[in-house]
Amino acid sequence: MAKNNITKQADNFPQWYQDVIREAELADNSEVRGCGIVRPYGLKIWELIKAELNRRLEDDGVENVYFPIFVPLENLMAEKDHVKGFAPELAIVTHGGGEELVNKLAVRPTSEAAMYKTYARWIQSYKDLPLRLNQWANVVRWEKRPRAFLRWSEFLWQEGHTVFVSEDEARLEVDKILNIYSDIYKFMALPAFIGRKSESEKFAGAVMTKTTEIMVKDGKAVQGATSHYLGTNFAKVFDVKFLGADGKFHLGHQNSWGLSWRSVGALIMGHGDDNGLRLPPNVAPVQVVIIPIYKNDESKEAVMLYCENIKNDLAKSYRVKTDEREDLSPGFKFNYWEVRGVPLRLEIGLKEVESKSVSVFRRDKETKELINLSELKTSLENLMLDIHNNLYQQAKDFADSHIYRIESLDEIDGRLGWFEASWSEDPESEKMLKEKYSMVSRVLVPENENKAPKNKKCFITGKQAKHDWYFAKSY
Amino acid sequence: MAKNNITKQADNFPQWYQDVIREAELADNSEVRGCGIVRPYGLKIWELIKAELNRRLEDDGVENVYFPIFVPLENLMAEKDHVKGFAPELAIVTHGGGEELVNKLAVRPTSEAAMYKTYARWIQSYKDLPLRLNQWANVVRWEKRPRAFLRWSEFLWQEGHTVFVSEDEARLEVDKILNIYSDIYKFMALPAFIGRKSESEKFAGAVMTKTTEIMVKDGKAVQGATSHYLGTNFAKVFDVKFLGADGKFHLGHQNSWGLSWRSVGALIMGHGDDNGLRLPPNVAPVQVVIIPIYKNDESKEAVMLYCENIKNDLAKSYRVKTDEREDLSPGFKFNYWEVRGVPLRLEIGLKEVESKSVSVFRRDKETKELINLSELKTSLENLMLDIHNNLYQQAKDFADSHIYRIESLDEIDGRLGWFEASWSEDPESEKMLKEKYSMVSRVLVPENENKAPKNKKCFITGKQAKHDWYFAKSY
């Protein structure tokens, strides 16, 4: 245990994660098993991610909609793969308004089955397409082994649901959205591995799933967001058809895609260190914290005035906060904001006031420098950019240096990281891998999809390999 | 039925309301009885209201939080008035993850019972107070007679939950929030009657409720938002106590307050006319719509180029859209956007191109004028302001001229509007009024709270009257 009540990453990474969430006041346990409370500091991170993604989606012509939280069970049962995937995780409402319901309702685990009957009503002709709607909502998937942000029974997310005239158009959008998701992770200074999921790992009911996978600092994977081509699987079931330009009826080609507050979990695990969170400026609720340091009333007055002027000046460009708490020492405050990952800390005492300067501490490198007041604004601009780039580069270097090429199962060992292997894509082999090694395929990246596997033989079955895939344990 | 498939307000106001919602594509019925779908045009209005309210609350120091959608039933049962108020409206989850739950869960109808046990854990000392948190969330209250936006079984809202050291501080916040709500309605160009609710009409579990009441265009009332002083009622039950500066433990004084997408319903009913919606610019998803008018390919090119330049110029300041649909006549488009209440329509044909001008139609007054291109930006600024002010003034004039002073029950007749009467505040008399006249007290405004009633005798009971109250039918 360090000064900050946080377990060291190397000692127990999952415990470190829980400790950081508690100490940085990101989230808390609730009265309901499996569900969490997201506290203001944690929720603000999600709101910043959400605002950026919403802007990107709106710019791309997607419109927001809101469908009910309840889904008639019979709708959920209609698509056979979908129900198989979600039935074990449902929360069921059996009573409403004091009466037992004739038709039981599920709390939505995702909204394909909630939306597409209505889509069928809205869509008449090819002129109504593409239909591209998105919903910011809570969903419930009952979790036996909950983990904060990554695996709570209730979570907040966005789910896009789109309909196209042709398969080509739909598949193009799958990639377009995947690239937006990848950009959102870049916004969080996290490099994402994007590409296709295996047949066993794809979304229940989809023809194909593409994913955004993040390597976190214990070498495991976090699925950051997914983009699915649903084909006409749901269109058949819910009768989503349109009158084409050819005067005939056709089934719509559908996609769905989602990013949730798991992204906050990936962010914590992707950047944090033994001292707590490290936040890239884009998603830091507080980008600059000012700590006044004084010994007596006289120095206090001068210091506080100096701090206030700087704060007012910086507040035009940054989310800035002065920690004015009287009964806490500067040392306590340094630690308090370090745990919370604030990118820049300004330490201001009489020395700084008298020399017209500011001591600037950057959280990512834990270095401090004295900056002239006249150069503060330019320096901060550069520092913010440099912190973002440094965090990104560190995460990228870590990921790049923790992917190990293997040719056979024997080579899977305790190394932190992912394994790259040539694989037959045989579902049975993946099942075995999951059971014996707690590991599945994470993603087939485009570079590997577009070339022959390095080894002709599958590393598990010895049969013909199809591509080089990444395999990893995951959260 | 008019050209636009909308029933006239005078013929059947509730039907007019439903027609506008359908024709303007604000909302739709869902697969789940009592729950609605909010379509993009309707949701955008809510998002604009939400953004403004969120900004106001953040400026006031309130922080956002997220608690689970489920509440253990036993928590809900803990406060006796609260459970009496909400038990009949609960949706109950009995099964989760394939198993019957030992402890049944309610879907939150409001979150007092979901939050305050946790508040008790977070609050130790007076230094932790005030605690001022807000949550943007969906809640469920089973409705037997649903009505779009105003009374759906599920609705979106914000709920603020705050804790103070003293009753005085708490009561001050009740009024501060009430004023923010009143400002939000002003933002929507709607005057609100703010003040106290009667004992029977207050929130279940509150000591006192203050309300924001809107008079809509058939003279009924819509409760626009409420702000409650909970006293220590919940603090006692959930053990929300703090160590005071005096070294002793005290119960926290609590408030809760909420504004929901009922506000969209009030907006529709408060401003709409026989041609559909009329939206004030602040909450109009499209503030300016441009309709290009041309007869042949040659004029089309010139008109479209002219439109594009104007659009690009205006897009810096407004939410602007050009209706470029090829297969629809200008007349159809005029009607289409009138129904949707777009404040300003720019009609642009060859005449306008050649005279370097724009025909500008304002929805609120249904008047049109030709404006020189060089003056367009200034004119639009003034017009937007004028539309807002005109809508506000119309709503205010309507409200002021539809409040009738009565001295006895006999005077209650079919007049559109509210009745003002001197009242004893006797709960039994209010019950009778509700049963026989479908009417209850709406609000005691501060002007009437701070003076003696005009009549010493209660208009119902003949007993001693306490104040002059407003009474009305409501949605």
Digit-coded pLDDT (tens) for A331-340: 999 999 999 9
State the pLDDT at residue B298: 87
- Mean pLDDT over the full length of chain B: 97
User: Is A26 contained in some domain?
Assistant: yes
B416 three-class SS? coil
Q: Which chain A residue has its CA at the smallest distance from B149's CA?
A: A66
One-letter identity of residue A197: K
Spatial distance between the Cα atoms of A461 and A425, rounded to a whole number of angstroms: 10
Question: Which of B393, B412, B443 finishes a domain?
Answer: B393
Cα dihedral A34, A37, A38, A40, rounded to 10, equals: -170
pLDDT at B2 over 70: no
Contact B114 A89 (CB under 8 A): no
Spatial distance between the Cα atoms of A345 and A368, rounded to a whole number of angstroms: 9
Q: What is the mean pLDDT of residues A59-72?
A: 98
State the pLDDT at residue B3: 67
Interface A-B: count of C-beta contacts within 8 A:
153
- Residue A115 near residue A235, CB atoms below 8 Å: no
Q: What is the mean pLDDT of residues B20-26?
A: 98
DSSP A60: T
Residues of A in contact with B72 (CB under 8 A): 31-32
State the pLDDT at residue A298: 87
- Residue A174 near residue A208, CB atoms below 8 Å: yes
Digit-coded pLDDT (tens) for B159-204: 999 999 999 999 999 999 999 999 999 999 999 999 999 999 999 9
Q: Are both B382 and B424 inside the same structural domain?
A: no
Identify which of B28, B38, B133 has the shortest CB distance to residue A40.
B133
**d(CA A203, nearest CA chain B) in Å:** 19
Q: Is the preceding peptide bond at B130 cis, omega within 30 degrees of 0?
A: yes
- Residue B266 near residue B220, CB atoms below 8 Å: no
Identify which of B39, B107, B114 has the shortest CB distance to residue A93.
B107
Q: Nearest-CA neighbor of B345 among B329, B327, B325, B366? A: B366
**d(CA A69, nearest CA chain B) in Å:** 8
Query: In this structure, are strands B154-164 and B131-140 parallel, antiparallel, or unpaired?
Result: antiparallel
Q: Which chain B residue has its CA at the smallest distance from A133's CA?
A: B40
**d(CA B184, nearest CA chain A) in Å:** 22
Query: In this structure, are strands A367-372 and A357-362 parallel, antiparallel, or unpaired?
Result: antiparallel
- Mean pLDDT over the full length of chain A: 97
State the pLDDT at residue B1: 43
Question: Which of A389, A416, A439 finishes a domain?
Answer: A389
User: Is B178 contained in some domain?
Assistant: yes
Q: Are both A185 and A94 inside the same structural domain?
A: yes
B192 three-class SS? coil
- Is this complex's ipTM strictly greater than 0.95? yes
Task: Provide the domain limits for residue B27.
Answer: 13-271
- For chain A, what percentages of helix, strand and coil (3-state, to nearest 5) are there? 35, 30, 35
Q: Are both A385 and A443 inside the same structural domain?
A: no
Q: Are both A70 and A184 inside the same structural domain?
A: yes
Q: Are both B376 and B413 inside the same structural domain?
A: no
Identify which of B75, B143, B154 has the shortest CB distance to residue A31.
B75
Report residue B382's pLDDT band, with 50, 70 and 90 as the boundaries: very high
User: Is B5 contained in some domain?
Assistant: no
User: Is A394 contained in some domain?
Assistant: no
Spatial distance between the Cα atoms of B263 and B46, rounded to a whole number of angstroms: 8
One-letter identity of residue A382: N
Digit-coded pLDDT (tens) for B115-171: 999 999 999 999 999 999 999 999 999 999 999 999 999 999 999 999 999 999 999
User: Is A277 contained in some domain?
Assistant: no
Contact A66 B153 (CB under 8 A): no
Report residue A3's pLDDT band, with 50, 70 and 90 as the boundaries: low
Q: Are both A159 and A181 inside the same structural domain?
A: yes
Buried b (16+ CB within 10 A) or exposed e, A169-201: ebbebbeebbebbbebbebbbbbbbbbbbbebb
Which of A92, A104, A237 to probe by mutation at the B interface, max B CB count within 10 Å? A92
State the pLDDT at residue A1: 43
Question: Which of A205, A238, A271 finishes a domain?
Answer: A271
Tokens of residue A368, six digits: 């401090």
Q: Are both B58 and B88 inside the same structural domain?
A: yes
Q: What is the mean pLDDT of residues A130-140?
A: 98
pLDDT at A370 over 90: yes
Residues of A in contact with B97 (CB under 8 A): 88-91, 142-144
Q: Are both A28 and A136 inside the same structural domain?
A: yes
Q: Which residue's structure tokens are 């807002």?
A: B388
Digit-coded pLDDT (tens) for A147-162: 999 999 999 999 999 9
- Residue A348 near residue A309, CB atoms below 8 Å: no
Q: What is the mean pLDDT of residues B429-448?
A: 97
Q: Nearest-CA neighbor of A174 among A233, A248, A257? A: A257
Q: Which chain B residue has its CA at the smallest distance from A72's CA?
A: B32
- DSSP for B236-296 reads HHHT-EEE-TTSSEEEPEEEEEEEETHHHHHHHHHH-BTTB----GGG-S-SEEEEE--SS
User: Is B330 contained in some domain?
Assistant: yes
| Burial of residue B309 (number of CB atoms within 10 Å: 0-12, 13-18, 19+) | exposed
Residue % of chain A over a pLDDT of 70 = 99
Spatial distance between the Cα atoms of B62 and B173, rounded to a whole number of angstroms: 11
- Residue B442 near residue B209, CB atoms below 8 Å: no
Spatial distance between the Cα atoms of B453 and B406, rounded to a whole number of angstroms: 12
Q: Are both B237 and B110 inside the same structural domain?
A: yes
Q: Are both A443 and A363 inside the same structural domain?
A: no
Identify which of B37, B69, B89 has the shortest CB distance to residue A138.
B69
Q: What is the mean pLDDT of residues B20-35?
A: 96
State the pLDDT at residue A297: 86
- DSSP for B166-177 reads SHHHHHHHHHHH
Q: What is the mean pLDDT of residues A353-379?
A: 97
Q: Are both A364 and A454 inside the same structural domain?
A: no
The alpha carbon of A331 is separated from its chain's Cα centroid by a whole number of angstroms, namely 33
Choice among A295-299, B322-326, B410-414 with the minimum mean pLDDT: A295-299
Spatial distance between the Cα atoms of A226 and A167, rounded to a whole number of angstroms: 18
State the pLDDT at residue A414: 87
pLDDT at A361 over 80: yes
First-to-final CA distance of chain A: 24
CATH number at residue A29: 3.30.930.10
Q: Are both A25 and A152 inside the same structural domain?
A: yes
The total number of structural domains in chain B stands at: 3
User: Is A7 contained in some domain?
Assistant: no
CATH number at residue A413: 3.30.110.30
User: Is A397 contained in some domain?
Assistant: no
| Burial of residue B246 (number of CB atoms within 10 Å: 0-12, 13-18, 19+) | exposed
Contact B90 A69 (CB under 8 A): no
CATH number at residue A364: 3.40.50.800
Report residue A2's pLDDT band, with 50, 70 and 90 as the boundaries: low
